[in-house]
Amino acid sequence: MSAVAVQAYTLLDDIECDERIRRAREQLGERLVILGHHYQRDEVFAHADFSGDSLKLSRQAASSKAEYIVFCGVHFMAEVADILSRPDQVSILPDMAAGCSMADMANLQNVERAWRELASVLNPDETITPVTYINSAADLKAFCGEHGGIVCTSTNARHVLDWCFEQREKVLFFPDQHLGRNTGYTMGIPLEQMVVWDFDQPMGGLTEQQIRDARIILWKGFCSVHQMFQPEQIDQFKAEYPDTKVIAHPESPFEVCQKSDYVGSTETIIKTIAEAEPNTRWLVATELNLVNRLHEQFKHEGKNVHFMSPTVCMCSTMFRIDPQHLAWVLENLVEGHIVNQISVPQNVADKARLALDRMLEVSP
Ligand code: 13P
Ligand code: SF4
């Protein structure tokens, strides 16, 4: 019998999917591991064997013994799982449309063009370490692997940049300008030494002098979810609740991070609020599903957790993973059919792994 098509699942209700997911998990036992990113909706998150931020989930994928790694997250995460797992393990993304709009803002063609254009000013392979945020396609990680570069996540960006400056004097950081700028600034790099490379313009829209003077060249990419947060939202909220603590994900704009009491990855945000005193109030700049979950989880301690933006804004691609797609991939596995496998070509995976292994080595 061939694989069942996803259309057979789209009209199932969540309760039925929930039961079918549980049954399939029982049948697959230790052959299966489900990894869930913190931004997943509750109905999916509830089925994760392990949850975490990008770094934690990469490590989980690298150490898992399961035959099938079902990644409830976005495309680049399932690619990393495929690269870091054993060749006989299978990485699965329940919905192939679950991409990351920020990751799509850099591609191999425009990064290679930037490298060539930078070569007209200086020798990039001697002077610039390329760093790709883990939110990027596998071929960009391979580019970094090939050019003495590295991958970073929001947890280890500081350690990664320290490592980069031990190798070469400059960094090309893509695709997220905010993570690059926020991290560089905490290392004491002045804003004027962090220039933005506009990939739609020749020479990134920069002069030769700007390139020579820069310490970090920031790709003009951003996350559409975190871009929504504004410093005025903090001011307005604090005018009403002055004792509020503010915490932001480093994909948020510089001005938001500067006004925040804490800046960190999703895992750091959870840990900080979990360890806070009871009866505290929190304004959080990160994805809505996580903020709502934190509120529910800690309200019994009197902690009030609020979403920073007045506009409801969640990661629409993370939201693509729904109970229907999860039930579909799991029931197909029970029947011996692999659907939605993420398989990175070996020549790309080998080079990408170099950059990922460097990252894992320098991570705390
Ligand atoms: P974390 O690694 O902090 O979980 O971030 C992943 C991400 O995509 C945030 O938008
Ligand atoms: Fe990508 Fe932003 Fe969604 Fe994270 S929240 S997966 S960076 S689009």
Per DSSP, the three-state class of 279 is coil
Tens digit of each residue's pLDDT (9 = 90 or more) over 141-176: 999 999 999 999 999 999 999 999 999 999 999 999
For the domain covering 103-224, report its CATH number.
Answer: 3.40.50.10800
Question: Ligand 1 centroid to 287 CA: how many Å?
Answer: 9
Query: What are 225-247's pLDDT values in tens digits?
Result: 999 999 999 999 999 999 999 99
User: From the alpha carbon of 74, which atom of ligand 2 is closest?
Assistant: 6
Cα 57 to Cα 135, 141, 217, 255, 287: the distances in Å are 13, 17, 28, 29, 18
Buried/exposed 262-286: b ≥16 CB within 10 Å, e otherwise: bbbbbbbbbebbeebeeebbbbbbb
CA distance 329 to 322: 11
pTM of the model: 0.97
CATH number, span 6-98+317-344: 3.40.50.10800
Tell me if 100 CB under 6 Å of ligand 2. yes
Please report the atom of ligand 2 found closest to the CA of residue 315: 3
Query: Is any atom of ligand 2 closer than 6 Å to the C-beta of 74?
Result: yes
Q: Where are the domains of the chain?
A: 6-98+317-344, 103-224, 226-307
Domains 6-98+317-344 and 103-224 share a fold: yes
pLDDT at 294: 98
Q: Which of 35, 39, 72, 79 for a ligand 1 pocket mutation test, highest count of atoms within 8 Å of Cβ? A: 39
100 CA from centroid of ligand 2 (Å): 5
Does the beta carbon of 153 lie inside 6 Å of ligand 1? yes
Q: Does residue 134 have a pLDDT over 90?
A: yes
Nearest to 296 by CA among 307, 309, 310, 308: 307
Which of 181, 183, 182, 185 has its CA nearest to residue 195?
Answer: 181
Task: Specify the pLDDT at position 312.
Answer: 82
Ligand 1 contact, 54 CB (< 6 A): yes
Which residue's CA is the nearest one to ligand 2's atom 7?
Answer: 223
Task: Return the CATH class of domain 226-307.
Answer: alpha beta
Protein residue with least CA distance to atom 1, ligand 1: 53
Pocket probe mutation, ligand 2, options 135, 219, 222, 314, max atoms within 8 Å of Cβ: 135
Phi, psi dihedral angles at 135 (to 5 degrees): -75, 75
- Each residue's pLDDT tens digit, 237-277: 999 999 999 999 999 999 999 999 999 999 999 999 999 99
